[in-house]
């Protein structure tokens, strides 16, 4: 068991979750608010008795559609915003400062709470992303992941409402299987998380670097060669324990930021120098800058401004690129060729360099996709959507991601996978891509803790047992019906 001593952060918001009835895929009518009971929450799941669809929503940052459902009873966790600081958390796996965050806490909320005490936690890059939902339960890449690991690597314990109506704890010593599943396999599949307790670390100075250039005044081939140079430098950035965001199209490239924890401006400038030298040799005109900050929050606030620029609605997919790809010249050339093809076909790329190995993460026991531990780049592909596009046009662009953009990247990275918080919802290989070798174990844990299969997502664990009709209703697949009859 663990011991928890600490104090409540000054901000106090009622610990209440709201329940809505969905007339469409999104919440329309509020039915009731609930507070947790230590004995039973069975009234949350009265929908199961009446065969009504049930969904859980945190902040709604979910490209896989897990937090919405037509005609569903929807539990919205937004108002659960208490944050508790624990000055000395003690357990079998960790001793030190920690924070307990309830289900409605956003990334910016926990970042502020930690900064006020000279600490930092592994939180999301977007300030409004829910901290305890799909972000942390789905792995959770962060600006400090190369230094501390993924968000799921920080979990110490959960408070959970099971679909049997019980309010329980899950930790490495209590309901261990549920704790393992919640730490990395995706939100809304095994139980409703009421709160999570996570590690906190001493705040450190941060430096931010940037490089940007366009294809203006140079040939298309020279522009692509400049981008190839960035790819070739990926291992250097990863080994330096920085986190980077690069976004680019066929005519514009932006590497911003290079987020470097505990590095000086001079060290970041040295890191960028080989890339800048190559740009100079290619005759590419660029802008570059390096700035330093006293702590994480100040750098994070700059990051928020950089990445939260409205660019419209997109359809996306992703792939984790392992170290081995960058060590094999032919495979790397193949990946660069695939990226050029994507850009030439109207796609855009967003990618992150990070290195969340088991050593970096402290060798946690959790359900994070194993491919993360060998990856040094999370590469996303996207196609923008124009206003007024028909559903057929949107479907065509989705199919392009699934059938044209991703297959070659998959072929070049066998055994890898995707960060399913930013993945292709139509990936036909989602079990392998999102869960890898963990899937069968996760399914067994789901059957134990959600025996009635109340929690559903099309690509969640057990999601293939159901099919969604055009009207949004869920029906059991025949194979699952046969399995149930066989068990009876």
- pLDDT at position 17, please? 55
DSSP string, 28-53: EEEEEEE---SS--GGGGHHHHTT--
pLDDT tens for each residue of the chain, 488 residues long:
444 444 444 333 335 555 444 444 444 544 444 555 443 455 555 556 667 777 887 766 666 666 566 667 778 888 899 999 999 999 999 999 999 999 999 999 999 999 999 999 999 988 888 999 889 999 999 999 999 999 999 999 999 999 888 999 999 999 999 999 999 999 889 999 999 999 999 999 999 999 999 999 999 999 999 999 999 999 999 999 999 999 999 999 999 999 999 999 999 999 999 999 999 999 999 999 999 999 999 999 988 776 655 556 889 999 999 999 999 999 999 999 999 999 999 999 999 999 999 999 999 999 999 999 999 999 999 999 998 999 999 999 999 999 999 999 999 999 999 998 999 999 999 999 999 999 999 999 999 999 989 898 889 999 999 988 887 778 888 776 665 545 54
> Burial letters for 264-303: b for 16+ Cβ neighbours within 10 Å, e otherwise?
eeebbbebbeebeebbeebebebebebebeebbbbbbebb
- pLDDT at position 2, please? 47
Q: At what angle do helices 265-282 and 220-232 cross, to 10 degrees?
A: 150
Contact 298, 292 (CB under 8 A): no
- pLDDT at position 63, please? 66
How far is CA 325 from each of CA 223, 266, 405, 416, rounded to the nearest angstrom? 22, 30, 18, 11
- pLDDT at position 7, please? 42
Residues 6+ away with beta carbon under 8 Å from 110:
83, 99, 101, 121, 123, 131
- pLDDT at position 397, please? 96
Q: Which residues are bridge partners to 201 per DSSP?
A: 120
- pLDDT at position 471, please? 76
pTM, whole model, 2 decimals? 0.91
Contact 298, 273 (CB under 8 A): no
Q: Please give the radius of gyration of the chain, using alpha carbons only, rounded to the nearest integer.
A: 23
Closest CA to 422 of 182, 141, 234: 141
The C-alpha atoms of residue 109 and residue 112 are separated, in whole angstroms, by 5
Contact 55, 74 (CB under 8 A): yes
How far is CA 99 from each of CA 70, 121, 221, 442, rounded to the nearest angstrom? 35, 8, 50, 27
What confidence tens digit (pLDDT) does each residue in 53-65 have?
778 877 666 666 6
- pLDDT at position 399, please? 97
- pLDDT at position 306, please? 66
Peptide bond into 257 cis (omega under 30): yes
Closest CA to 357 of 344, 370, 342: 370
Closest CA to 370 of 419, 429, 335: 419
Q: Which domains does the chain have, with CATH numbers?
A: 206-435 (3.40.462.20)
Alpha helices by DSSP H, listed for 413-477, are 430, 439-449
Contact 156, 144 (CB under 8 A): no
Closest CA to 154 of 125, 118, 183: 183
Contact 110, 99 (CB under 8 A): yes
What confidence tens digit (pLDDT) does each residue in 429-486 have?
999 999 999 999 999 999 999 998 989 888 999 999 998 888 777 888 877 666 554 5
- pLDDT at position 307, please? 61
- pLDDT at position 59, please? 67
Say if residue 467 is exposed, middle or buried (CB neighbours under 10 Å; 0-12, 13-18, 19+).
Answer: middle
The C-alpha atoms of residue 236 and residue 471 are separated, in whole angstroms, by 50
Query: Coil, strand or helix: which one is 195?
Result: strand
Say if residue 314 is exposed, middle or buried (CB neighbours under 10 Å; 0-12, 13-18, 19+).
Answer: middle
> Residue 407 phi/psi, 5° resolution?
-55, -40
Q: Tell me how many helices (H) and strands (E) the chain has.
A: 17, 21
């Amino acid at each position: 068991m663990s011991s928890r001593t600490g104090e409540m952060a000054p901000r106090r918001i009622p610990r209440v979750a709201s329940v809505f009835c969905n007339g469409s895929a999104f919440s329309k009518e509020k039915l009731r608010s609930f507070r947790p009971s230590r004995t039973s929450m069975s009234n949350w799941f009265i929908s199961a008795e009446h065969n009504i669809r049930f969904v859980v929503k945190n902040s709604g940052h979910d490209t896989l559609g897990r937090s919405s459902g037509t005609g569903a009873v929807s539990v919205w966790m937004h108002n659960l915003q208490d944050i508790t600081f624990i000055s000395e958390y003690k357990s079998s796996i960790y001793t030190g400062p920690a924070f307990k965050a309830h289900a409605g806490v956003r990334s910016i909320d926990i970042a502020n709470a930690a900064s006020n005490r000279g600490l930092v936690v592994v939180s999301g890059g977007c300030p409004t992303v829910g901290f305890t939902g799909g972000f942390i339960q789905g792995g959770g890449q962060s600006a400090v992941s190369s230094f501390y690991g993924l968000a799921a690597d920080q979990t110490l314990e959960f408070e959970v409402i099971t679909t049997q109506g019980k309010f329980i704890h899950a930790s490495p010593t209590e309901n261990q299987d549920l704790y393992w599943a919640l730490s990395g396999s995706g939100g809304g599949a095994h139980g409703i998380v009421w709160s999570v307790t996570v590690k906190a670390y001493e705040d450190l100075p941060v430096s931010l670097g940037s490089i940007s250039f366009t294809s203006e005044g140079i040939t298309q081939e020279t522009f692509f060669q400049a981008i190839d140079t960035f790819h070739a430098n990926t291992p250097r950035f990863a080994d330096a324990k920085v986190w980077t965001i690069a976004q680019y199209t066929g005519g514009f490239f932006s590497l911003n930021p290079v987020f470097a924890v505990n590095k000086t401006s001079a060290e970041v400038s040295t890191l960028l120098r080989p890339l800048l030298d190559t740009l100079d040799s290619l005759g590419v005109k660029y802008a570059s800058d390096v700035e330093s900050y006293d702590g994480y929050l100040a750098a994070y606030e700059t990051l928020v401004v950089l990445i939260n620029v409205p660019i419209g609605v997109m359809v996306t997919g992703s792939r984790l690129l392992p170290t081995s790809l960058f060590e094999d010249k032919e495979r790397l050339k193949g990946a660069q060729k695939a990226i050029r093809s994507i850009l030439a076909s109207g796609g855009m790329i967003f990618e992150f360099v990070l290195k969340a190995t088991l050593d970096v993460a402290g060798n946690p026991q959790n359900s994070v996709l194993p491919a993360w531990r060998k990856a040094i780049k999370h590469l996303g592909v996207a196609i923008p959507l124009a206003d007024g596009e028909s559903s057929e046009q949107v479907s065509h662009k989705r199919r392009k991601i699934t059938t044209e953009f991703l297959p070659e990247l998959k072929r070049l990275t066998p055994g890898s996978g995707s960060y399913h918080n930013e993945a292709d919802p139509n990936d036909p290989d989602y079990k392998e891509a999102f869960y890898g070798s963990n899937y069968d174990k996760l399914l067994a844990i789901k059957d134990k803790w959600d025996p009635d299969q109340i929690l559903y997502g099309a690509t969640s664990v057990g999601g293939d047992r159901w099919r969604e009709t055009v009207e949004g209703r869920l029906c059991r697949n025949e194979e699952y019906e046969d399995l149930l009859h066989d068990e009876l």
